Amino acid sequence: MNLIDTMNWRYAAKHMTSQKVSEEKVQEILEAINLTATSAGLQPFRVISISNPELKAKLQAASFNPQVAESSHLLVFASYTHISQAHVEEYISLIANTRNVPLETLAGFKENLSGLPSMPEDFIKNWAARQAYIALGTAIIAAANLKVDSTPMEGFDNAAFDEVLGLKEKGLQSVVLLALGYRDEASDFLVGQKKVRIPLEELIVTLN
């Protein structure tokens, strides 16, 4: 199935069955997230993958979406609330080690990134959250490619999620969720419905 067929197949499942997504498929989705594009490659977010039924039920109480509990796996995208100089130092070291290059050759890039720790907190929070949303898009496409249903969700109590998952202590804030599972064809009213999208020529402005 080509990409456009896959994208036509996927939709935000409103209800999911109890069927579990294999760990191999979940791992592939997580690897795709790890390979997603992010600003400067800094990856200023983390993804919490939850399959524990009791924990999902606890989080369900702080969400408007039944897919939180119904999902096989719930992915919580949590972005950084600040960038420290230690974050920059660790990232520069990772580049040097991964590419086997001297640290000195990265001095200019490091200098460019070193302004981030002094940026206002609101700027960092908003910027990091936008990076998490880029990763969310990658996850949705990766899941569809594996014929795994997914539902992106914003309808939840962020503060409650942060408390349950201990995110504040880690310098993180929950920003968006992705439920992974399989569509419940018996109870999901959207099963089999055509996608509703505006004409491509209305969405796209082409400047030649």
d(CA 56, CA 95): 36
According to the model, what pLDDT value does residue 155 have? Answer: 93
According to the model, what pLDDT value does residue 196 have? Answer: 94
Please give the structure tokens belonging to residue 187.
């109870």
Instruction: Kindly list the domain boundaries of the chain, sorted by start residue.
Output: 3-83+122-203, 84-118
- Condensed to tens digits (0 to 9), the pLDDT of residues 29-55 reads 999 999 999 999 999 999 999 999 999
Number of neighbouring beta carbons within 10 Å of residue 7: 15
According to the model, what pLDDT value does residue 192 have? Answer: 87
Phi-psi domain of 101 (left: phi exceeds 0; alpha: psi -120 through 50; beta: other): beta
- Per-residue pLDDT of the chain in tens (208 residues, 90 and over written 9): 699 999 999 999 999 999 999 999 999 999 999 999 999 999 999 999 999 999 999 999 999 999 999 999 999 999 999 999 999 999 999 999 999 999 999 999 999 999 999 999 999 999 999 999 999 999 999 999 999 999 999 999 999 999 999 999 999 999 999 999 999 999 999 998 999 999 999 999 999 9
Q: Is the CATH code 3.40.109.10 the one for domain 3-83+122-203?
A: yes
According to the model, what pLDDT value does residue 170 have? Answer: 97
